[in-house]
Structure 1
Amino acid sequence: MYDRLGGIVRLMHDSLGEINCDNALTAASSQIVAVQDRLEYVASLTERAATKVLNTLDEGMPAQDALAAAGRAMEARWDALFTGELSVDQFKQLADDSRQFARTVAAAGEAEKARLLDIMMAQDFQDITGQLITKVVALTQTVEHELAELLRDNAPPGVRDKFMPKQLMQGPSVPSVALDQHNVDGLLDDLGF
């Protein structure tokens, strides 16, 4: 497979050189390097965002567990009051503890809001990565189209005629005569690839 791939790349390079397309090959090569750099950047952004989200969740979970446990304990004390199990002094202490718990819940809510904002901000990579991925897809489609056109133009006559666009006189371009994915698959099959 390696030898065959190397042969194909050599053939493509030589063919492009013969038809004076070295500049196109150089441009495509530099675009591919730029695409690789962009994909590495996308990977680093998504890794950084995932790490930020997981760290923020790790920070928030114990605080939420502690708040839930304190709430359950407070509820049990109030249940004891309503069943008549608490003295007046214990009721006064419960009332004071309830006020403190309300302050704790308010502070915990603000802290949780800040953590949620951090998680939301960590997702800002999506806009950047979406744009980069769109560019990578467009470049990939362009390279595929150009390679398919090169194959079609240099195919044996019987295969070439099957995939050559119909000659049109004048007028606007017609999408139905362009190579679509089905045509590319057929061309590659007919050429033995």
Structure 2
Amino acid sequence: MEHDDLEALFEATRAEAERSATAVAEPPPAPVAREAAPAPATAAPAPRAAVAESIPIAVQNPPESCPNSDPDGICRNCTCGSARELRDRVGRLTRELHESLQELRLDSTLADMANEIPDARNRLKYVTEMCERSAQKVLDTLDELSPLQEAERDDSQALHVRWSRMLDEKRRPEEGYMALFEATRTHLSQSVSRAERTASLHSDIMMAQDFQDLTGQVCRKIEGITERIEQKLLKLLIDTAPEDHRARHQEMLEGPQVVAGRSDAVTTQGEVDDLLSSLGF
């Protein structure tokens, strides 16, 4: 439709130029010829009327012929109404095309981020489940360890009291030593069993910490995902920012830097905050 409007505009401008040239070349009519003048209804040829009906209303009444028009009737002066209208239409088309391409590029960036966010969420869920299982296992092991430690303490304390009393009373050995010896032997046997069980439970606690290796790997992957999303969001902001901000920050989206000390790259969260602040966010 825009193409047809432009063709109609060029045709109307060319026809107006031809009419102006014909009016200049023909001599003025004699006064007596007023009665013989043709009627207004038959003044315009039929093809020209058909063209006028097919073009927009804004073009059916074109501006007067511009003195800067070329031999073809096309005006090269941008201050002329016809050229200004043509320029405005081309400008609007260019703006629509630019915005459409920009939206396509932004949609692609947002789609990439939308695909990475569920992956990061699933990985975080895995880390949470691993931590919960490990914490529950440690708590259960400690619940089993506590009674063993308490029994060992109580038995040792009771034996200590009995031996102290026996030595303080200075009784003859046959009057109570045999029972105390038997209690001591039983306690020592139970101490060995409790120590073995305690060592086993300690091993269980250590094994419960193996989640750190797995969750550490997952966390590093999540860190990479969040960094990529951050870079894409920053690029999105810069692409949609005014030209002065875009030129100043475009070189800061180069990813990890292998040369330390550069001032034109984002290397810390503080610099990212400064960049967002400079963009008005």
Q: TM-score, normalization: structure 2?
A: 0.56
Change (3 A) 1:179 1:153: farther
Q: Is 1:131–2:217 an aligned residue pair? A: yes
- Cα root mean square deviation, aligned: 2.5
Q: Is 1:187–2:254 an aligned residue pair? A: no
Higher relative contact order (CA 8 A, sep 6+): 1
Structure 1 range deviating more: 124-133 or 180-189: 180-189
Change (3 A) 1:26 1:154: closer
Q: Is 1:79–2:164 an aligned residue pair? A: yes
**Corresponding position of 1:5:** none
> 1:178 is paired with a residue of what secondary structure?
coil
Q: Which amino acid aligns with 1:190?
A: S
Change (3 A) 1:93 1:145: same
**Corresponding position of 2:120:** 35
> Of residues 19, 44, 62 in structure 1, which corresponds to 2:105?
19
Change (3 A) 1:16 1:107: farther
> Of residues 108, 124, 140 in structure 2, which corresponds to 1:55?
140
Change (3 A) 1:141 1:159: same
> 1:145 is paired with a residue of what secondary structure?
helix
> Of residues 14, 20, 44 in structure 1, which corresponds to 2:129?
44
**Corresponding position of 1:121:** 207
Once residues 111 and 44 of structure 1 are traced to their aligned partners in structure 2, the CA distance between those partners, rounded to angstroms, is: 28
**Corresponding position of 1:3:** none
Please identify the structure whose Cα radius of gyration is greater.
Answer: 2
1:89 Cα deviation after fit: 3.6
Q: Which amino acid aligns with 2:116?
A: Q
Q: TM-score, normalization: structure 1?
A: 0.79
Question: After TM superposition, which residue ranges in structure 1, 4 or more long, deviate above 6 angstroms?
Answer: none
> 2:245 is paired with a residue of what secondary structure?
helix
CA offsets, 1:31-80, max 9 Å, x none?
21121111111111111111111111111101211110010000001111
Q: Which amino acid aligns with 1:135?
A: K
Would you say how many aligned residue pairs link Structure 1 and Structure 2? 174
* Contact 1:80-1:86 within 8 A present in 2 as well: no
**Structure 1: tracts of 5 or more residues without a match:** 1-13, 167-171
Q: Which amino acid aligns with 2:266?
A: L
> 1:155 is paired with a residue of what secondary structure?
coil
Identity fraction in percent: 33
**Corresponding position of 1:95:** 181
